[in-house]
Structure 1
Amino acid sequence: MVGMPPHPTKPAPEPAAPRSPAPAPTSASASVAPVPAPAPASRPGGPAGPPRARNPYLRLFAVPGTRAFTAGNLVARVPMGMFTVSAVIMIAGSRGSYALAGAVTATGLAATAVVAPFTARLIDRYGQARVAVPATVLAVLGSLALLLCVRHGAPDWTLFAAYAATATTPNIGGMSRARWAHLYRGDPRAVHTANAFEQAVDELCFMAGPVLAAFLCAALFPEAGTLVGAVLLLAGMLLFTAQRATEPPVAPRAARRRARSPLRTPGMPALLAVFLATGAIFGSMEIVTLAFVDGPEAGPVMALQAFGSFLAGLAYGSVRPAANARRRLLVCLAAMTALMSLPLPASGTGSLPVLAGALLLAGMATAPTMVTGMSLVQRLTPPDRLNEGMTLAVTALLGGISTGAAAGGWLVERAGAGTAYALPAVAGALALGLAAAGVRVRDLP
């Protein structure tokens, strides 16, 4: 990344359809504001073209190149749910210490919170392919270094240093959302469907990733999960970034100088605070469920929450969103708070199937809330800082997850796992209060 020319150039993206509403600008002429389209980009044939597909998800993939970058996105995103589980199994199995394994993975999370926004800013400035590939290579080398340090009994401090190097992993979910926002910049409903699709993919990958990692580590060798995850991450990122026709163009240098940081955009700090509180819901729910179930059934039971979110995300993306985005966010957060309170009485029954059903229902408000929140981030963030804005949201979410996990563990030890199920509902009420007080209509473009 050192020595990059100040005016990066690349071939102009190919038209997304035979009758494109507006030609995609090149990197030398891209404007800061998205180009308004007289007709939605999801109708490649234009007014005289083929009829619009009824299924909104089929419409998304009518534009050439979308299937290819989605395939790369899927391959690269599965390891995101593998690395933590793989590292814990690998380190705890070799060193006999879950405390060391937890400390190493927590260090990696903290490093990611610091590094990820800067990586995203470079992606916005120089383009996805030019930054994401070397950043991914560095992260893969960190994973392989961790594997070798564990395998050969290196000192404990090397584990922290190696895992911290993985913090350069680009936010591929944010890059994918940025591509959808660019391709369908004239069709807000298509962008809504795309955000829902991406959230559903998140849930699917975080269901499959830990299961795959645990299986590989148990069936092959303890380092297998980390090794396979590194290969999948690099292969998926190479496939994703190779699709240059759908890559958003970078803004001219003069426009970048005029654009302010997403953190200085009115309404953005309040929205990030909402993401922080929302992350606390997820972190506390996970650790409390692990403590309550305390057995091999914990994984499948927790997967039901993600599965509920997956189903709700697909359903939410297929309907037209309400025009008032702030009200939509408040409704989603209120529903999340209500549904997250269900595991508390369910735990009092002592029945695992009842708890599993409550977690399935609790997850159904997650995806609509995240889709709405990410849509607001896209609206508040300057277009040439979109990756940075979405990465800041993910960073806030991760910070909330770690805080919620720590608070959940503390409450479990002092009040018991059943009582600790009150914590996700309290975090949901906090997120709702922050949104009601901080996210104002006048801040929304």
Structure 2
Amino acid sequence: MSNPYRKIFAAPGAKGFSAAGFFARLPIAMALIGIVAMLSQTHGEYWLAGAVSATFALANALVSPQISRLVDRFGQAAVVTPTTIISALSFLALILATNQKWPEWTMFVAAFLAASMPSIPAMVRARWTELFRNRPELNTAFAFESAADELVYIAGASLSVGLAVALFPEAGMLISTLFLALGTAAFILQRSTEPKVRIAQDQTAQGSAIGRRPVQIITLALVFVGSIFATAEVSAVAITKELGQPSAASLVIGVYAVGSFVVGLILGAFNPKMPLHRQLLIAVSVLAVTSLPLLAAGISVPLLALAVFLSGIAISPTFITAFGLIERRVPDSMLTEGVTWVMTGIGIGMALGAFVSGWVVDNFGAQNGFWVSVAAGAATVATVALGQPSLAAERGEHVSDELPQPAE
């Protein structure tokens, strides 16, 4: 069996934009948990840390689809460059406000402005789609990107917490901002793989991608998935601190996505033939079931790490199928926006999960934070199950999910 990943990276420019995109998207994982780690240490209150983190995530959830909509109309370089500059400067302001003990409202303002950070995962997937549109290699590319997203959470969240604990509270956020600035610059400078601006050819392709039912369903489902992410991170930080081993939080968060990373790569290599909407239902069902052991995982750090590891095995398959469905359910002229709405769902979920789980931890204890994960898992299954008829229809038609095979 030939290596499908070697095949996709043989395309001109693929290695370059994928590598740059990896570093540019590290702040997605680093910033949210970095804000929590930074403020919980400097101000000692999880509610404030969760609220500032939620401000950033919710604002980004509202703004990033509009940025991506502009990208679809004017191109990546023209839009991503100025928005990244604003975001990086705002993150620096947030770090300074924390370090200098400025009034709390300044932190919220800085977090709000930092939300202009563009959705790099959407930009990367748009480039892969430009290379392999309507070809089976696209599923492999999406699988790789979903596995890369997992690696971002493994490396990003763990690195952010580890730096904040080992060096100084603002260290994680400082490195995150550096990755955002340099990684995005390297990505944008690679103009040869930038997708062409595509003009809508008919009236059904006008408007916003969020107006389409499949995008609405997948976005809502990933709101709950994002809540599971954030709850695991906040609860892990709180439980390890309660157990007297705060430095172990980075290890626990690091193992969260290891299983999912491996499963995602395998799924991309074998390219299952089952329709994507059914694959998504199976993936989120596994995600819900594996959240249950978290309720009894606060006894020790090894047990917590094991439960968190198990809870993450279905994340990458969920991402792969979700993005695959979006690529086949929206017109080419709004692909970047459609992918960004899905990423937005994750961001909204992480914001709500961080806030709700932070409140639960403060009021009911660290271990009870995982009840948020269980509830979110059940809601994810319900959303995808009820949305199966809409997810099965491709752009208004009932068409097979299988991509056409190349001619022999």
> What TM-score do the two structures reach when normalised by structure 2?
0.86
State the match for 1:232 in structure 2.
179
SS in 1 for 2:256: helix
SS in 1 for 2:207: coil
Equivalences for residues 44-443 of structure 1 within 5 A: 54-91=2-39, 98-187=46-135, 189-217=136-164, 221-252=168-199, 258-293=205-240, 294=242, 295-296=245-246, 297-344=248-295, 346-347=296-297, 350-409=299-358, 411=360, 418=367, 421-440=370-389, 443=393
Give the whole-Å Cα distance in 2 for the aligned partners of 1:82 and 1:268: 26
1:287 to partner: Cα distance: 3.5
- Tell which has more relative contact order, 1 or 2 (C-alpha 8 A, sep 6+): 2
Change (3 A) 1:321 1:133: same
Mapped contact 1:271–1:439 kept (Cα < 8 A): no
Give the whole-Å Cα distance in 1 for the aligned partners of 2:356 and 2:45: 22
Give the whole-Å Cα distance in 1 for the aligned partners of 2:32 and 2:385: 34
Give the whole-Å Cα distance in 2 for the aligned partners of 1:261 and 1:228: 34
1:136 to partner: Cα distance: 0.5
Among candidates 388, 391, 394, match of residue 444 of structure 1: 394
- Number of matched residues? 390
- Counterpart code for 1:130: A
SS in 1 for 2:290: helix
Mapped contact 1:322–1:328 kept (Cα < 8 A): no
Change (3 A) 1:96 1:366: closer
Q: Could you list the runs of 5+ residues in structure 1 that have no partner in the other structure? A: 1-52
1:185 to partner: Cα distance: 0.6
More divergent stretch after superposition (137-146 vs 282-291): 282-291
Give the whole-Å Cα distance in 1 for the aligned partners of 2:153 and 2:178: 18
1:252 to partner: Cα distance: 3.3
More divergent stretch after superposition (352-361 vs 322-331): 352-361
Give the whole-Å Cα distance in 2 for the aligned partners of 1:280 and 1:178: 26
- Counterpart code for 1:210: A
Mapped contact 1:267–1:439 kept (Cα < 8 A): no
Mapped contact 2:32–2:57 kept (Cα < 8 A): no
1:425 to partner: Cα distance: 3.4
Give the whole-Å Cα distance in 2 for the aligned partners of 1:213 and 1:414: 26
Change (3 A) 1:411 1:79: closer
Change (3 A) 1:319 1:152: same
1:411 to partner: Cα distance: 5.0
RMSD, aligned α-carbons: 2.7
Change (3 A) 1:402 1:159: closer
SS in 1 for 2:10: coil
Q: Deviations over 1:200-252 (max 9, x none)?
A: 11121222223333454456554443333222211111111111221111013
Change (3 A) 1:431 1:354: same
SS in 2 for 1:169: coil
Which has a greater percent of helix?
Answer: 2
1:400 to partner: Cα distance: 2.0
Mapped contact 2:47–2:358 kept (Cα < 8 A): no
- Counterpart code for 1:304: V
Mapped contact 1:280–1:400 kept (Cα < 8 A): yes
Mapped contact 2:21–2:184 kept (Cα < 8 A): yes
1:60 to partner: Cα distance: 1.2
Q: Could you list the runs of 5+ residues in structure 2 that have no partner in the other structure? A: 396-408
Give the whole-Å Cα distance in 1 for the aligned partners of 2:174 and 2:360: 35
Mapped contact 2:47–2:355 kept (Cα < 8 A): no
Change (3 A) 1:266 1:98: closer
Give the whole-Å Cα distance in 1 for the aligned partners of 2:212 and 2:239: 42
Give the whole-Å Cα distance in 1 for the aligned partners of 2:285 and 2:65: 29
Change (3 A) 1:210 1:273: closer
- Counterpart code for 1:378: E
Mapped contact 2:50–2:354 kept (Cα < 8 A): no
Q: Deviations over 1:121-148 (max 9, x none)?
A: 1111100111111110111111222233
1:199 to partner: Cα distance: 1.5
- Counterpart code for 1:368: P
- Counterpart code for 1:424: S
SS in 1 for 2:313: helix
Change (3 A) 1:225 1:262: same
Q: Deviations over 1:362-412 (max 9, x none)?
A: 211111012111111221122111111111111112222233344444555
> What TM-score do the two structures reach when normalised by structure 1?
0.79
1:176 to partner: Cα distance: 0.3
